[in-house]
Amino acid sequence: MYEFSWWWMFFLLPLPWLVRWLLKPAEQSGVALRVPFLQDFLQQGVVKGQSLLTRLALLCAALAWIGLLTAVARPVWVGDAVALPAAGRDLMLAVDLSGSMQEQDFRINQQVVDRLAATKLVASEFISQRTGDRVGLVLFGDQAYLQAPLTFDRETVRTLLGESAIGLAGERTAIGDAIGLALKRLQDSPEKNRVLILMTDGANTAGSVSPLEAAEMAATAGLKIYTVGIGSESQSTRNVLGFNLVNPNAELDERLLRAVADKTGGRYFRARDTEEFQRIYAELDRLEPVEVEAGEWRPQQELFRWPLLAALGLGLGAFLLRLEAGL
């Protein structure tokens, strides 16, 4: 339906007629010339033509004034109500891009892939299911970087996650800086809605903030942190004597990740393979949403341009008609 945001502007409609009625017309002085009788008939035709042009000019001016007031009153087209999400969280994902994430100890469709590829696959599916949540993305290595601010546009976050590459943020692991940056981006969110999911395969080896200090600040601010340790516990490698079992994830600091999660009321998970990774995200996806008051939004389209253009055209027409009438 149509609405006028400033409908009271129509009270100015009689303003030109009030000005005309209150102000005296300017006195005209001149010398009257008497013309021959035949010329009087010719002048009558000219006067009639001028009178018609004058009336048309006044009509155009009046319509131009109405169009101008209509534009100033801000007409808008209001669409049907659109329901807003009744529940949701502000969810930040922090993904490790350090050099150790290139370790190939995961399998996707019977193909061996590195840890980052497995993280992208499962995290992308998780993001696509977070209907009603605002999702953001932090990438960290030597330092932490905000790749995507909190947004309802989950497809963009998935795209940015898919474009991330190992070593893009450096070779080491700054877990504390990642927590600190996520906390900074979530500080304006409702306290009960803040969640950080931090995924790493190593220990804190870089950064200016200790992970435990960052966790203390997060706990004070009401940020709940879920930590995910990535990597298998054993891997078969070939050597001159045959095959040997090694632990490719010996550097994973599980004690630190568990302490960070415990301080903030979250949980620590261990992702040893793709199936376990998927189970972790399935459990995270069942996080109880915080109920908020449901609302609605009506899309609006501004229409003031059309009466404004009509007013300009009519005003120009009135001016040209007055010139033609010799006024």
- Can you give the pLDDT at residue 212? 93
* Tens digit of each residue's pLDDT (9 = 90 or more) over 206-221: 888 899 999 999 999 9
Find the range with the poorest average confidence among 119-123, 211-215, 322-326.
Answer: 322-326
The CA distance from 171 to 178, in Å, is 14
Q: Buried b vs exposed e over 118-144: b needs ≥16 C-beta within 10 Å? A: bbbbbbbebbeebeebbbbbbbbbbbb
Residue ranges and CATH numbers for the domains of the chain are: 2-22+37-79+298-325 (no CATH), 90-284 (3.40.50.410)
The CA distance from 171 to 71, in Å, is 59
- Can you give the pLDDT at residue 295? 61
**Backbone CA torsion sign across 165, 170, 171, 173:** negative
Q: Does position 236 have pLDDT exceeding 50, yes or no?
A: no
| Mean pLDDT on 249-269 | 86
- Can you give the pLDDT at residue 105? 76
The segment with the largest mean pLDDT, out of 25-34, 102-111, 134-143, is: 134-143
Q: Does position 242 have pLDDT exceeding 60, yes or no?
A: no
* Tens digit of each residue's pLDDT (9 = 90 or more) over 274-313: 788 778 877 777 765 555 555 666 778 888 889 999 999 9
What does pLDDT average to over the chain? 80
Q: Do 67 and 308 touch, CB atoms closer than 8 A?
A: yes
Q: Do 67 and 314 touch, CB atoms closer than 8 A?
A: yes
* Tens digit of each residue's pLDDT (9 = 90 or more) over 145-172: 999 999 989 999 999 999 999 888 888 8
- Can you give the pLDDT at residue 42? 46
Q: Which residues are bridge partners to 94 per DSSP?
A: 138, 198
Percentage of the chain modeled with pLDDT above 70: 80
- Can you give the pLDDT at residue 150? 92
* Tens digit of each residue's pLDDT (9 = 90 or more) over 166-180: 888 888 889 999 999
Q: 42 Cβ partners below 8 Å, 6+ apart?
A: none
What band does 38 get if pLDDT is binned at 50, 70 and 90? Answer: very low
pTM: 0.60
Find the range with the poorest average confidence among 39-48, 78-87, 104-113, 133-142.
Answer: 39-48
What band does 237 get if pLDDT is binned at 50, 70 and 90? Answer: very low
